[in-house]
Chain A
Amino acid sequence: MLTEHFVAAPHWEWYILAYFVAAGLSGGTYVIGTMLRLWGDARDLPASRLAFFISWPLLLVCPILLTLDLGQPTRFWHMLIDSRTAGLAFKSWSPMSVGAWALLIYGIFSTVMFVVALGETRSTPALLSRVSKVAGTLAGRVVMVVGALFALFVSAYTGVLLAVSNQPVWSDTWTLGGLFLASGLSGASALVLLMSRRRPEAAETDEKLLEADRYFIILELVLIALFFVTLGGVLSRVLSGGWLVLWLVVLAGTVVPLLVHWRPAWRQRISRNLGPILVLLGVLALRAVVIFSPQS
């Protein structure tokens, strides 16, 4: 049974859209970097390093965007510390509260893996090289995997945050967290692919990344279908007017890469960069239509 809504919009707009994209891609690239180290071989290390190199700067942007979106930016720390008692402000049932903490903790892991990746490159100080060697041990791998769990959360929780509201569309579906995660992972694969064009040593992993991206895209398409089904009577709010254009971009960012794979002849005709660029545009369009359409 769908809820009838009589609500006001929170006016979460461009900063939040940029944050959702940055968090999705940062978390996604960290997870891909981790999976390449866990299940790949030595030839995949450059691509893994590249993933961690991308993940960290994207993460740095996140708290800046969130702070700028606040009505009182100087009170950003109220998300973490109770300003009255100076104790910790943590509410497990509030996705915004959990997300603020997850972002902080994920930031530590992302920074560590950035340093590890940096230490693996040539001409780095001895200290960094030593850190990288520790990262190769079992303990180092455990740390990396725990970080990946936080990365998954950061990539996904934004969808749950929207759902835990009383806004039309957002609160009418349980799919948004999963959908943002699948889309974030797909976008992260595309971003690593694009960046590997400038790093030939990382291009060894291109085929694997393309394959992974296809799986993530299929997952995303299933979740988009579930998203539409769960919306029922409010579906028209996300499909009406100009929003259809954004859905076409989402469609291009999901279906075109799959078609290119299934029709190898197409690969010869179009640029190698077109697929990843379409995927990234789809990541942006998906979040834009989900964020803006219920508030319009």
Chain B
Amino acid sequence: MATPVGFFTDTTLCIGCKACEVACKEWNQLPDNPIQFRDSYDNTGQLDQRNFRHVRFVEQATSNPDKPIAWSMMSDVCKHCANASCLEVCPTDAIIRTEFDTVYIQQDVCNGCRDCIAACPYGVIGFDSQSGTAKKCTFCYDRLQNNKMPACAQACPTQSIKFGNLADLRKMAADRVQALQAQGVTQARIYGDTEYGGLHAFFLLTDKPEAYALPNAESAVLPGRNDVPGYLAVAVTSVLAAIGGLVAFRRRGERA
């Protein structure tokens, strides 16, 4: 197996230029977005089958009247979770873990059931009605196989998106957080060290995860948590229903 790879996205370096979105669209030949007027500079909207990268403009009100809105930009992407919800529920095994430890949807296997979309806690996967399949970031699997870095990381002009060996990136991220905190950015934190067993695309944030539409540690749970309780409820209901049936349908001669 090849070395596990990752993306470390440092949101403090992102300037919202969307070069990553453009490079991703170009390499993966993704269709353009329908024109929509949104109440924001964020005209991409969300990650889906058309957008494997999405520069999120997080707008927050400040107490400074000269600067009423503060922006944090974050180039969002599939997190390629170590414990991936989509991979867990996929009934056809169309979603696989690659030799680079990334999560990949095999387009020739996917039958478009959309269970992965229901399961993904980050709202990353979209349904492509043209191909009839689910789509998301491939981590530029084709480029990785040819020893090239993913298109988004290569295009990022500020190196907000860093690509590399996962272990090296985690060390780099920890050092960066330490440096920022020493400079007084006390809110600096890493998102993705522990969530879903560790994310292969993890982020340096300067606010709580919810501000970036990311579930916090308590909310980052796998769909399988409801498997046993759900079936237990079915079993108990079955027994009670059978008792009801027995009482109602028992032979007339045996009725009290």
Chain A: residues with CB nearer than 8 A to chain B? 1, 3-12, 31-32, 35-36, 38-41, 43-44, 69-73, 75-76, 78-79, 82-84, 89, 91, 93-97, 100, 152-153, 156-157, 159-167, 170-171, 174-179, 181-182, 185, 208-209, 211-212, 215-216, 219, 223
Contact = CB atoms under 8 A, between A and B. Distances in A.
Given A5-B121, A208-B249, 20 more contacts: A4-B215, A7-B122, A40-B249, A78-B94, A78-B111, A83-B108, A93-B88, A95-B89, A157-B234, A160-B231, A161-B115, A164-B89, A165-B119, A166-B119, A174-B226, A174-B233, A178-B233, A212-B248, A212-B249, A219-B240
Contacts of B223: 164-166, 171
Given A4-B219, A12-B118, A96-B89, A164 B110 contact: no
B245 A219 contact: no
A159 B122 CA distance: 22
A182 B216 CA distance: 35
Nearest to B243: A215
Interface in B144-189: none
15 contacts: A5-B121, A11-B114, A75-B112, A79-B113, A91-B93, A94-B90, A95-B230, A96-B91, A163-B226, A177-B231, A177-B237, A178-B234, A182-B237, A211-B247, A212-B244
Interface of B: 46, 48, 85, 88-94, 106, 108-115, 117-129, 131-134, 210, 213-216, 218-219, 221, 223-224, 226-227, 229-234, 236-238, 240-242, 244-253
Contacts of A176: 230, 233
A94 B88 contact: yes
B89 A165 contact: yes
Nearest to A185: B241
B230 A164 contact: yes
A221 B216 CA distance: 34
Contact of A10 (B118, B132, B218): B118
